[in-house]
Amino acid sequence: MTWRATALTLFPDMFPGPLGQSLAGRALEQGVWSVEARSLRDYGIGRHRVVDDTPFGGGAGMVMRPDVVSAAIRDVGRAGRPLVYPTPRGRPLRQDDVRRYAAGPGLVLLCGRYEGIDERVLEAEQVEQVSIGDYILSGGEMAALVLLDSCVRLIPGVMGSEASGTEESFSDGLLEYPHYTKPASWEGRDVPDILLSGHHAAIAGWRQTESETATRMRRPDLWAAHLARTGQDTGGPVSLAADPERLH
Ligand code: ADE
Protein backbone atom coordinates (compact mmCIF):
# COMPACT_ATOMS: atom_id res chain seq x y z
CA MET A 1 0.00 0.00 0.00
CA THR A 2 1.47 3.29 -1.14
CA TRP A 3 1.60 6.15 1.41
CA ARG A 4 0.00 8.96 -0.58
CA ALA A 5 0.62 12.71 -0.36
CA THR A 6 -1.31 15.35 -2.27
CA ALA A 7 -0.13 18.97 -2.21
CA LEU A 8 -2.49 21.80 -3.12
CA THR A 9 -0.20 24.64 -4.14
CA LEU A 10 0.35 27.57 -6.47
CA PHE A 11 3.82 26.15 -7.15
CA PRO A 12 3.42 22.48 -8.07
CA ASP A 13 6.95 22.38 -9.51
CA MET A 14 8.31 22.63 -5.96
CA PHE A 15 7.30 18.95 -5.47
CA PRO A 16 8.88 16.49 -4.88
CA GLY A 17 11.88 18.87 -4.87
CA PRO A 18 14.56 17.55 -2.51
CA LEU A 19 12.41 14.52 -1.71
CA GLY A 20 13.21 13.19 -5.19
CA GLN A 21 16.79 12.61 -3.94
CA SER A 22 18.49 10.13 -1.65
CA LEU A 23 16.53 7.48 0.23
CA ALA A 24 13.18 9.29 -0.06
CA GLY A 25 13.74 9.63 -3.82
CA ARG A 26 14.49 5.94 -4.21
CA ALA A 27 11.40 5.00 -2.22
CA LEU A 28 9.37 7.40 -4.38
CA GLU A 29 10.62 5.64 -7.54
CA GLN A 30 9.80 2.28 -6.00
CA GLY A 31 6.24 3.37 -5.21
CA VAL A 32 6.62 3.09 -1.42
CA TRP A 33 5.14 6.58 -1.30
CA SER A 34 3.79 9.05 -3.85
CA VAL A 35 3.25 12.79 -4.10
CA GLU A 36 0.84 14.54 -6.44
CA ALA A 37 0.99 18.34 -6.65
CA ARG A 38 -2.20 20.04 -7.80
CA SER A 39 -2.25 23.66 -8.84
CA LEU A 40 -4.62 25.88 -6.88
CA ARG A 41 -4.56 28.15 -9.93
CA ASP A 42 -6.73 25.56 -11.73
CA TYR A 43 -9.55 26.46 -9.30
CA GLY A 44 -9.08 30.24 -9.66
CA ILE A 45 -11.89 32.60 -10.64
CA GLY A 46 -12.42 33.93 -14.16
CA ARG A 47 -10.14 34.27 -17.13
CA HIS A 48 -7.24 35.33 -14.90
CA ARG A 49 -7.76 32.42 -12.50
CA VAL A 50 -7.71 34.72 -9.48
CA VAL A 51 -7.03 32.89 -6.19
CA ASP A 52 -6.72 35.78 -3.71
CA ASP A 53 -8.16 39.14 -2.74
CA THR A 54 -7.62 42.01 -0.30
CA PRO A 55 -8.34 41.40 3.40
CA PHE A 56 -11.61 42.59 4.91
CA GLY A 57 -10.75 45.04 7.67
CA GLY A 58 -7.77 46.31 5.75
CA GLY A 59 -4.08 45.59 6.14
CA ALA A 60 -1.18 44.51 4.03
CA GLY A 61 -1.08 41.62 1.61
CA MET A 62 -3.63 39.34 0.06
CA VAL A 63 -5.74 36.48 1.39
CA MET A 64 -6.54 33.25 -0.45
CA ARG A 65 -10.24 33.00 -1.25
CA PRO A 66 -12.35 30.35 0.54
CA ASP A 67 -14.33 29.42 -2.60
CA VAL A 68 -11.13 28.70 -4.54
CA VAL A 69 -9.45 26.76 -1.75
CA SER A 70 -12.58 24.73 -0.92
CA ALA A 71 -13.08 23.79 -4.59
CA ALA A 72 -9.55 22.38 -4.63
CA ILE A 73 -10.02 20.54 -1.32
CA ARG A 74 -13.34 19.01 -2.38
CA ASP A 75 -11.87 17.85 -5.67
CA VAL A 76 -9.22 15.78 -3.85
CA GLY A 77 -10.21 12.33 -2.66
CA ARG A 78 -9.10 12.60 0.97
CA ALA A 79 -9.62 8.87 1.54
CA GLY A 80 -9.13 9.14 5.30
CA ARG A 81 -6.05 11.31 5.03
CA PRO A 82 -5.61 14.26 7.40
CA LEU A 83 -5.75 17.66 5.71
CA VAL A 84 -2.83 19.72 7.01
CA TYR A 85 -2.21 23.44 6.49
CA PRO A 86 1.36 24.42 7.36
CA THR A 87 1.26 27.86 8.96
CA PRO A 88 3.19 29.72 11.65
CA ARG A 89 -0.22 30.06 13.43
CA GLY A 90 -0.46 26.27 13.79
CA ARG A 91 0.31 24.08 16.77
CA PRO A 92 3.97 23.09 16.80
CA LEU A 93 4.71 19.90 14.86
CA ARG A 94 6.01 17.13 17.14
CA GLN A 95 7.50 13.73 16.46
CA ASP A 96 4.29 12.21 17.89
CA ASP A 97 2.30 13.90 15.11
CA VAL A 98 4.82 12.69 12.54
CA ARG A 99 4.47 9.11 13.80
CA ARG A 100 0.67 9.37 13.58
CA TYR A 101 0.78 10.79 10.04
CA ALA A 102 3.32 8.23 8.86
CA ALA A 103 1.22 5.35 10.25
CA GLY A 104 -1.86 6.49 8.30
CA PRO A 105 -2.72 6.37 4.58
CA GLY A 106 -0.95 9.68 3.78
CA LEU A 107 -1.57 13.43 3.89
CA VAL A 108 -3.25 16.22 1.97
CA LEU A 109 -1.15 19.38 2.32
CA LEU A 110 -2.68 22.77 1.76
CA CYS A 111 0.08 25.23 0.92
CA GLY A 112 -0.67 28.90 1.51
CA ARG A 113 1.00 31.97 0.03
CA TYR A 114 0.44 35.63 0.70
CA GLU A 115 -0.92 36.59 4.14
CA GLY A 116 -2.83 33.35 4.54
CA ILE A 117 -6.08 31.55 3.79
CA ASP A 118 -9.62 32.77 4.61
CA GLU A 119 -10.43 31.38 8.07
CA ARG A 120 -13.88 30.07 7.08
CA VAL A 121 -12.57 27.37 4.79
CA LEU A 122 -10.15 26.19 7.50
CA GLU A 123 -13.13 25.74 9.85
CA ALA A 124 -15.45 24.22 7.27
CA GLU A 125 -12.96 21.58 6.07
CA GLN A 126 -11.52 20.53 9.45
CA VAL A 127 -8.03 21.61 8.52
CA GLU A 128 -5.20 20.79 10.94
CA GLN A 129 -2.94 23.84 11.27
CA VAL A 130 0.66 22.93 11.97
CA SER A 131 3.80 25.06 12.43
CA ILE A 132 7.31 23.76 11.80
CA GLY A 133 8.87 26.47 13.97
CA ASP A 134 8.74 30.02 15.21
CA TYR A 135 9.93 31.76 12.08
CA ILE A 136 8.21 32.84 8.88
CA LEU A 137 8.70 31.15 5.53
CA SER A 138 7.52 32.77 2.31
CA GLY A 139 4.93 30.06 1.76
CA GLY A 140 3.75 26.67 2.97
CA GLU A 141 5.57 24.58 0.36
CA MET A 142 8.91 24.35 2.17
CA ALA A 143 7.12 23.52 5.41
CA ALA A 144 5.09 20.86 3.58
CA LEU A 145 8.33 19.34 2.26
CA VAL A 146 9.80 19.31 5.76
CA LEU A 147 6.69 17.63 7.11
CA LEU A 148 6.72 15.08 4.28
CA ASP A 149 10.39 14.28 4.84
CA SER A 150 9.76 13.62 8.52
CA CYS A 151 6.91 11.23 7.63
CA VAL A 152 8.48 9.47 4.67
CA ARG A 153 11.59 8.42 6.60
CA LEU A 154 9.33 6.51 9.03
CA ILE A 155 7.54 4.51 6.32
CA PRO A 156 8.76 0.90 6.43
CA GLY A 157 11.21 0.23 3.60
CA VAL A 158 12.40 3.81 3.15
CA MET A 159 15.42 4.01 5.44
CA GLY A 160 16.73 0.47 4.92
CA SER A 161 19.51 -0.39 7.31
CA GLU A 162 20.87 3.17 7.45
CA ALA A 163 18.89 4.27 10.47
CA SER A 164 15.92 1.91 10.38
CA GLY A 165 13.62 4.87 10.96
CA THR A 166 14.54 5.22 14.57
CA GLU A 167 13.93 8.60 16.04
CA GLU A 168 17.22 9.39 17.67
CA SER A 169 16.83 12.73 19.37
CA PHE A 170 13.20 12.62 20.38
CA SER A 171 12.34 9.00 21.01
CA ASP A 172 12.96 9.33 24.75
CA GLY A 173 12.28 13.06 24.95
CA LEU A 174 15.96 14.00 25.20
CA LEU A 175 18.34 15.44 22.63
CA GLU A 176 20.84 12.98 21.23
CA TYR A 177 24.38 12.58 22.57
CA PRO A 178 27.27 13.87 20.38
CA HIS A 179 28.91 11.70 17.73
CA TYR A 180 32.57 11.18 16.85
CA THR A 181 34.47 9.24 14.18
CA LYS A 182 38.04 8.98 12.83
CA PRO A 183 40.53 10.50 13.14
CA ALA A 184 40.72 10.11 16.92
CA SER A 185 42.71 13.34 17.04
CA TRP A 186 41.88 16.21 14.71
CA GLU A 187 43.39 19.68 14.76
CA GLY A 188 44.30 19.27 18.41
CA ARG A 189 40.85 18.03 19.41
CA ASP A 190 40.61 14.51 20.77
CA VAL A 191 37.66 12.18 20.84
CA PRO A 192 36.58 11.64 24.50
CA ASP A 193 38.72 8.80 25.93
CA ILE A 194 35.75 6.86 27.19
CA LEU A 195 34.53 6.25 23.62
CA LEU A 196 37.82 4.48 22.87
CA SER A 197 37.74 2.44 26.09
CA GLY A 198 35.58 -0.44 24.93
CA HIS A 199 33.57 -0.27 28.19
CA HIS A 200 30.06 -0.46 26.80
CA ALA A 201 28.25 0.25 30.07
CA ALA A 202 30.47 3.26 30.77
CA ILE A 203 29.93 4.55 27.23
CA ALA A 204 26.15 4.19 27.60
CA GLY A 205 26.30 6.11 30.88
CA TRP A 206 28.43 8.87 29.35
CA ARG A 207 26.03 9.21 26.42
CA GLN A 208 23.04 9.41 28.75
CA THR A 209 24.74 12.20 30.73
CA GLU A 210 25.62 14.07 27.52
CA SER A 211 21.99 13.77 26.35
CA GLU A 212 20.73 15.12 29.63
CA THR A 213 23.23 18.02 29.70
CA ALA A 214 22.44 19.09 26.13
CA THR A 215 18.71 18.94 26.80
CA ARG A 216 18.96 20.87 30.06
CA MET A 217 21.10 23.62 28.50
CA ARG A 218 19.49 23.97 25.08
CA ARG A 219 15.91 22.90 25.57
CA PRO A 220 14.59 23.75 29.02
CA ASP A 221 11.09 22.97 27.70
CA LEU A 222 12.02 19.36 26.86
CA TRP A 223 14.01 19.06 30.08
CA ALA A 224 11.06 20.12 32.23
CA ALA A 225 8.86 17.59 30.44
CA HIS A 226 11.50 14.89 30.96
CA LEU A 227 11.72 15.64 34.68
CA ALA A 228 7.94 15.62 35.01
CA ARG A 229 7.78 12.28 33.17
CA THR A 230 10.50 10.69 35.27
CA GLY A 231 9.01 12.09 38.47
CA GLN A 232 11.91 14.35 39.39
CA ASP A 233 11.85 17.86 40.82
CA THR A 234 12.01 20.52 38.10
CA GLY A 235 14.31 22.77 40.16
CA GLY A 236 13.60 25.78 37.98
CA PRO A 237 15.29 26.97 34.79
CA VAL A 238 19.00 26.36 34.22
CA SER A 239 21.20 29.23 33.06
CA LEU A 240 23.72 28.77 30.27
CA ALA A 241 25.88 31.21 32.23
CA ALA A 242 26.48 28.41 34.74
CA ASP A 243 28.98 26.92 32.27
CA PRO A 244 29.09 28.90 29.04
CA GLU A 245 31.94 26.83 27.55
CA ARG A 246 30.15 23.57 28.10
CA LEU A 247 27.96 23.67 24.98
CA HIS A 248 28.27 25.55 21.74
N1 ADE B 1 4.46 28.81 6.50
C2 ADE B 1 5.22 29.91 6.68
N3 ADE B 1 5.96 29.81 7.77
C4 ADE B 1 5.69 28.59 8.31
C5 ADE B 1 6.11 27.89 9.46
N6 ADE B 1 7.02 28.41 10.29
N7 ADE B 1 5.60 26.68 9.71
C8 ADE B 1 4.69 26.17 8.89
N9 ADE B 1 4.23 26.77 7.80
C10 ADE B 1 4.73 27.98 7.51
Q: Which of 136, 145, 150 gets mutated to test ligand 1 (max ligand atoms within 8 A of its CB)?
A: 136
CA of 124 to the centre of ligand 1 (A): 21
Binned average pLDDT, 10 residues per bin, the chain of 248 residues: 98 98 98 98 98 97 98 97 98 98 98 93 98 97 98 94 58 93 98 98 98 98 96 64 57
Task: State which H helix or E strand residue 88 sits in.
Answer: strand 83-92
Cβ(138) – ligand 1 distance below 6 Å: no
Residue 155 and residue 69: Cα distance in Å, rounded?
A: 29
With a 6 Å cutoff on the Cβ, whether 84 touches ligand 1 is no
Q: Is the CB of 140 under 6 A from ligand 1?
A: yes
Is any atom of ligand 1 closer than 6 Å to the C-beta of 10? no
Distance 228 CA to ligand 1 centre (A): 30
Q: Whose CA is nearest to atom 10 of ligand 1?
A: 87
Task: List residues bridging with 6 in a β-sheet.
Answer: 36, 108
Identify whether the C-beta of residue 96 lies closer than 8 Å to the C-beta of residue 103.
no
- The answer to whether the beta carbons of residues 164 and 153 sit under 8 Å apart is no
For the question of whether the overall pTM of this predicted structure is more than 0.85, the answer is yes
Domains and CATH numbers, the chain: 3-153 (3.40.1280.10), 167-230 (1.10.1270.20)
| Residue 165: per-residue pLDDT | 46
Cα 205 to Cα 180, 193, 208, distances in angstroms: 16, 14, 5
Tell me the C-alpha distance between 19 and 26, whole Å.
Answer: 9
